[in-house]
């Protein structure tokens, strides 16, 4: 298993989920967070992939179309070396959760769920073998994802939970424009209806804390797209245009 932020892209996650919308949402979110993600919609496919690849984590639905997820879990745990397993299921009864954990699951998250919580649990499971704290750096902006602390030029910045999540998403995708839709779906686990200005409101809050006191501005508005964080403070160039700051 990788042990440093520079090797983080080598950490492999297998998502076993037959609901296409949920699978796509989870896979896109985890890929944006820097993980190598693969997907299979059924239990047999999961067992085949686990035979071929050493994954760091398996996110496992229980109600699969062929083999029950608990049977998959039992087979995973018979392997000499097996990955961490996070059950992600609509079966949220106490008996279901207890049985899943007793059969060897490392964590159990009930649907519906918020992606930020899923991501936090994924990190917690993967960190078990990582002595090095995970940090993101963009210019003089530093984020400690473990301790959930942010500083710029050595000065601490106090962020609300949603502000932290948006900034983390921007930092993990630094240099890449992110649409408002992507930000809403990643942070709020909801569909963007084209009417809410919630992203713009939070970006204004972030700029007041991250950029206003510093000469180099890191968070930029990309006209017709959304927002982008650039550690060099350069104006983005998408379709040749950027909205004025």
- Three-state SS string over the chain comes to CCCCHHHHHHCEEEEECCCHHHHHHHHHHHHHCCCEEEEECCHHHHHHHHHHCCCCEEEECCCCCCCCHHHHHHHHHCCCCCCEEEEEECCCCHHHHHHHHHCCCCEEEECCCCHHHHHHHHHHHHHCCCCCCCEEEECCEEEECCCCEEEECCEEECCCHHHHHHHHHHHHCCCCCEEHHHHHHHHHCCCCCCCCCHHHHHHHHHHHHHCCCCCCCCEEEECCCEEEECCCCCCCCECCECCCC
pLDDT exceeds cutoff 90 at 189 = no
pLDDT exceeds cutoff 60 at 212 = yes
Which CATH code fits 135-229? 1.10.10.10
- Angle (CA) 164 170 173, round 5°: 140
pLDDT band, very low/low/confident/very high, at 3 (cuts 50, 70, 90): very low
Q: Highest mean pLDDT range out of 1-15, 16-30, 194-208?
A: 16-30
Predicted pLDDT of residue 193: 58
When the pLDDT of each residue in the chain is averaged and rounded to a whole number, the result is 83
pLDDT exceeds cutoff 80 at 168 = yes
Task: Please tell me the class of the 5-127 domain.
Answer: alpha beta
Tell me the two tokens of residue 85: 């397993």
73-99 pLDDT per residue, tens: 999 888 777 789 999 999 888 888 888
Quick check: 12 and 50 in contact, CB under 8 A? no
Tell me the two tokens of residue 54: 């050493």
Q: Which residues have C-beta within 8 Å of that of residue 5, sequence separation ≥ 6?
A: 132, 134, 135, 136
**Domain residue ranges in the chain:** 5-127, 135-229
Average pLDDT over residues 52-70: 92
pTM: 0.56
């Amino acid at each position: 298993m990788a042990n440093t932020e520079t090797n983080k892209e080598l950490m492999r996650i297998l998502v076993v989920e037959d609901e296409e919308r949920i699978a796509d949402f989870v896979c896109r979110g985890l890929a944006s967070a820097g993980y190598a993600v693969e997907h299979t919609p059924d239990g047999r496919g999961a067992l085949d992939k686990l035979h071929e690849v050493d994954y760091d984590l398996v996110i496992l639905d229980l109600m699969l179309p062929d083999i029950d997820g608990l049977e998959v879990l039992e087979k995973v745990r018979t392997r000499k070396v097996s990955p961490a397993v996070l059950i992600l299921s609509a079966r949220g009864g106490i008996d279901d959760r207890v049985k899943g954990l007793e059969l060897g699951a490392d964590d159990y998250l009930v649907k519906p769920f918020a992606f930020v919580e899923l991501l936090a649990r994924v990190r917690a499971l993967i960190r078990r073998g990582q002595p090095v704290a995970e940090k993101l750096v963009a210019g003089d902006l530093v984020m400690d994802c473990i301790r959930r602390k942010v500083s710029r030029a050595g000065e601490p910045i106090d962020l609300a939970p949603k502000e932290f999540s948006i900034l983390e998403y921007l930092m993990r995708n630094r240099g890449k424009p992110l649409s408002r839709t992507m930000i809403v779906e990643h942070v709020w686990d909801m569909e963007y209806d084209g009417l809410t200005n919630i992203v713009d409101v939070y970006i204004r809050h972030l700029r007041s804390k991250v950029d206003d006191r510093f000469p180099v501005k890191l968070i930029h508005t990309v006209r017709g797209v959304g927002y982008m964080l650039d550690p060099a403070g350069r104006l983005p160039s998408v379709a040749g245009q950027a909205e004025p700051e």
